[in-house]
Structure 1
Amino acid sequence: MAHVIIAGGGIGGLATALSLARSGHRATVLERSATFAEIGAGIQLGPNAFHALDRLGVGRNVRERAVFIDELRFMDGTTGEKVAAMELTGAYRERFGNPYAVVHRGDLYQPLLAACRELDGVELLADAAVRDHAQDGTGVTVRTTDGRTFRGAALVGADGIRSTVRAAVLGDGEPRVSGHTIYRSVIPIEQVPEELRWNAVTLWAGPKWHFVHYIIGGGEYLNLAVTRDDGATVPVAGREAERAHVLGRFPGIGATARRLLELGEGWREWVLCDRDPVRTWTDRRVVLVGDAAHPMLQYAAQGACQALEDAVVLGDLLDGAGEDDVEQHLEKFNAVRRERAGRAQLVARRMGSDLYHPAGAAAEERNAMLSALTQEQLRDSVSWLHGDRDFTDSGLGGRR
């Protein structure tokens, strides 16, 4: 049995702690915030996420608050035309073995947190921001900003896109600013006209913008997220945005999408960031997971899903490992996960530029291409991602 220190108590950090504890190890989670809590709004979970959650023992609890949607719907945001829709019932669930769902981030986080608190092998410490670490041949010593030290056989950096652990391991600077600004709002479902309460993740694509909405919170809220490709160069995280400002940024939006956009209130804005894929997530006894290893834009809806996959694979590889074996298993983790997660990063980036934001003739060509796809072809296009169950296949070697 090994003792592993985990920097970061978000979705990836808790999932990793849970996975390691279920594999017989002890985990100490150091969270910089004063409490263990997940901020944010809606999140999409593909079948691969539910495979991971089931492996972690929390799938049932997450399902209790999830909304299982019928289709992913792609709309032309200016004309209002329905371009394509991938059905998520029937053949989709049969092929991929699990549903596609949407949840509030808290409804994913709380089951992970509760499961960690129930295990003797997991220690959760808030107000414990990691400052630095040092390692030798037998372990890693971690120091927090308030001067405490912790010793473990390994350190997992699960501390997000601006990871302190990554900075020490890779030293690759600040994340890449995407130039896209996203505005988010969550409103009670009672404020939404019944004819607009669609059981779908709906995306309206316009010239240099797109708008996504879906129901979350067990059917109690509507999540709104509208993105503008505006060339933003300075990161912003959760800043308040005036309703008039948000509405004024999308003057060409179609009538139905406009109705939904106008329902939003309490808007907040973020400037989206990611990083290029890298081949190395490890330094001997230190490893990165989740957004610390492979931060990606939201456009493939896979950020949390890939973090959950990381947790399962890391726990599997360390199952039965002793302290002397940790380093080689972390290297194996890096080798089996980097291609898949790296491909997801690049796919998410291309979706924003090539699929969601074209204008004019390019948008017409996109619509023609998407509308010509059959349901089987749509499923084929996501099979490498949604259908993988060992979480190590990049999808480049063949179709599942």
Structure 2
Amino acid sequence: MTHTLVAGGGIGGLAVALGQARSGHRVTVLESRPEFGEIGAGIQLAPNAFHALDALGVRDAVAGRADFIDELRFMDGTTGRRVAAMPLTGGYRTRFGNPYAVVHRADLHRALLDGCRDAGVRLLGGQRVTGYEQSGGQVTALTAAGDRFPAEVLVGADGLRSAVREQLVGDGPPRISGHTIYRSVIPMSEVPERLRARAVTLWAGPGWHFVHYPIGGGDYLNLAATRDDGARREITGTPATRAQVLAEFGELADSARQLLELGRDWRIWVLCDRDPVDTWVDGRVALAGDAAHPMLQYAAQGACMALEDAVALGTLLRCDPADVPQRLEKYNGVRRERTARTTRTARWMGSELYHPAGPCAAERDALLAGHSAEDLHDAVSWLHGATDFIST
């Protein structure tokens, strides 16, 4: 039996831990915070995420708190005109084998945490991994508390500012995108009936966009408004006033503005990512999730890619401990191109799809409006479908 250490107890780390446990390994998760929990708001789960959740054995637990979405709507944010919509029922679900859903981050995290507990994963809080050492057939995780944890495998799933990545890749701080996002969650009971929908709705404007969708089994509405404002300083969850948010999106069309005005307890993040790299592996150490390939929100695939990583690692590490380095190299090769393409696609969507102005926006609208439902499904097939590796 292989002993796997996982640095980080967020969504990616718990998914990796669960994948390892389901493959018969002994697993220890080292989390920097004293308690295992998740903050934030809603995230989107395309069919590829549900394929991974099924492989991890927690699909039903997540689906029980998810909101299944009927369509992705693209609106002109200033005029309120409907530009295009991609249906997510019927032929979409048949083609991709699973639905498209949205879920509160805490609900997804809880399902993975419960799965880890049921599988006997050892969960240790207050253990921030600061680095690692390797010798012979072992790797040892070093923590800020001064403890040492030896094992046969270490997976760094410790997020955007991963200490494991810093030692393995050494590429410094993350790239600041220059995009600021304002997030709020409001009770659905406060939303007028005519503005409720089983949809992810995006209102695109010049240098900004606004997204909203139901979460929490339909009990809440997730609001996320983003401005391409050239921000150069990292901000993580700082409070913002209602007046500040409304002033940033003064051009927003009436229906969307009514929803924005309902927001409260707003918080601000400045979005960051990293350039894709070729190597995530060092001997018995590998990266996963945001530690390996942090990406901007625009493709709605960050969590999905982390779940895929977990399934890939769980499949590949069904091996003799002596074969771990070679299997991790294969994992690196299997996941590198797909996640790099997704990272670059997310950047492209943020600049070229969501935020154009003037003639460029008009060209975008004409292009989207000219696509059939099948055309739109073709465009996302490489991303939303199960990869050959995951489906085996």
After superposition, where does 1:63-102 map in structure 2 within 5 Å?
A: 63-102=63-102
Q: Deviation per CA, 1:258-311, whole angstroms, max 9, x where unpaired?
A: 111111000000000000111100011110000000000000000000000000
Counterpart-to-counterpart distance in 2, 1:342 and 1:348 = 10
Map Cα deviations across residues 120-148 of structure 1 (whole Å, 9 max, x no partner): 3x110000101221001211111111111
**For 2:339, which of 328, 338, 341 is the aligned residue?**
341
Give the residue type in structure 2 aligned to 1:203: L
* CA deviation profile, 1:25-75 (whole Å, cap 9, x unmatched): 111100000100011100100000000000000001111011001100000
Per-residue deviation, residues 179-226 of structure 1 (Å, max 9, x unmatched): 000000000001100100111000000000000000000010000000
Distance 2:60 2:250 in 1: 43
Task: Report the 3-state secondary structure (helix = DSSP H, G, I; strand = E; otherwise coil) of the residue aligned with 1:235.
Answer: coil
Paired amino acid for 2:310: A
Tell me the distance in 2 between the aligned counterparts of 1:84 and 1:139. 54
What amino acid maps onto 2:350 in structure 1?
A: G
Given that residues 337 and 391 in structure 1 are in contact (C-alpha distance below 8 angstroms), is that contact kept between their aligned partners in structure 2? no
5+ residue gaps, structure 1, are 394-400
Amino acid aligned to 1:156? V
Q: Secondary structure at the match of 2:264?
A: coil
Residue 42 of structure 1 is matched in structure 2 by 42
Q: TM-score, normalised by structure 1?
A: 0.97
Tell me how far apart the structure 2 counterparts of residues 272 and 391 of structure 1 sit (CA, whole Å): 30
For the pair 1:142 / 2:141, whether they are aligned, the reply is yes
Report the CA distance between 1:236 and its aligned residue. 0.4
In the alignment, which residue of structure 2 is the partner of 1:373?
Answer: 371
1:331 to 326, 329, 332: 329
For the pair 1:103 / 2:97, whether they are aligned, the reply is no
CA distance in 2, matches of 1:280, 1:42: 31
Q: Give the structure 2 partner of residue 200 of structure 1.
A: 199
Q: Alignment identity in percent? A: 65
1:243 corresponds to: 242
Distance in 2, Cα, partners of 1:154 & 1:347: 31
Across the two proteins, how many residue pairs are aligned to each other? Answer: 391
Inter-CA distance 198–69: structure 2 relative to 1 (3 Å threshold): same
Tell me how far apart the structure 1 counterparts of residues 191 and 365 of structure 2 sit (CA, whole Å): 28
Q: Which moved more, 1:131-140 or 1:13-22?
A: 131-140
Is the 1:186–1:264 contact (alpha carbons within 8 Å) kept by the matching residues of 2?
A: yes
Q: Could you tell me whether the CA contact under 8 Å between 1:309 and 1:391 is conserved in 2?
A: no
Amino acid corresponding to residue 16 of structure 1 in structure 2: V
Q: Which amino acid aligns with 2:138?
A: G
Find the aligned partners of 1:332 and 1:137 in 2 and give their Cα distance. 20
Counterpart Cα distance in 1 of 2:62 and 2:130: 33
1:151 alignment partner AA: P
For residues 306-325 of structure 1, the aligned pairs below 5 Å read 306-319=305-318, 321-325=319-323
Letter of the 1:71 counterpart: E
Name the residue aligned to 1:280.
Answer: 279
In 2, the alpha carbon distance for the partners of 1:132 and 1:368 equals 51
| Alpha-carbon distance in 2 for matches of 1:391, 1:274 | 25
| Partner SS, residue 262 of structure 1 | helix
In structure 2, stretches of 5+ residues that fail to align are none
* Deviation (angstroms), 1:391: 4.9
Q: Distance in 2 between matches of 1:285 and 1:375?
A: 45
Letter in 1 for 2:326: Q
Distance (Å, rounded) in 1 between the aligned partners of 2:60 and 2:6: 25
Q: Post-superposition shift, 1:390?
A: 3.2
Q: What amino acid sits opposite 1:224 in the alignment? A: L
Structure 1: which 4+ aligned runs deviate by more than 2 Å? 388-393
> Residues of 1 paired with 2:94 and 2:141: CA distance?
46
What is the Cα deviation at residue 235 of structure 1? Answer: 0.5
Alignment match, 1:398? none
Q: Which residue of 2 aligns with 1:362?
A: 360
Amino acid corresponding to residue 348 of structure 2 in structure 1: R
Looking at structure 2, the residues matched to 302 and 183 of structure 1 have their Cα atoms a distance apart, in angstroms, of 19
Q: Report if the CA contact (8 A) 2:6-2:157 is conserved.
A: yes
Cα deviation code 1:312-368 (max 9, x no counterpart): 01100011x121110000000000100001100000010000000000111000000
- Whether the 8 Å contact between 2:51 and 2:390 is mirrored in structure 1 is no
| Alpha-carbon shift at residue 253 of structure 1 (Å) | 1.1
Measured against aligned partners, the alpha-carbon deviations of 1:152-175 in whole angstroms (never above 9, x if no partner) come to 001100000100000000110000
Partner of 2:215: 216
Provide the rounded CA distance (Å) in 2 between the counterparts of 1:304 and 1:326.
25
* DSSP-derived class of the 2:27 partner: strand
Q: SS at 2:99's partner residue?
A: coil
Matches of 1:42 and 1:15, distance apart in 2 = 18
The one-character-per-residue Cα deviations of 1:89-115 (angstroms, maximum 9, x if unpaired) are 000000000000001011111111001
| SS in structure 1 at match of 2:217 | helix
CA distance in 2: counterparts of 1:186 and 1:252, whole angstroms = 22
Could you say which residue in structure 2 is the equivalent of 1:297? 296
* Cross-structure match for 2:163: 164
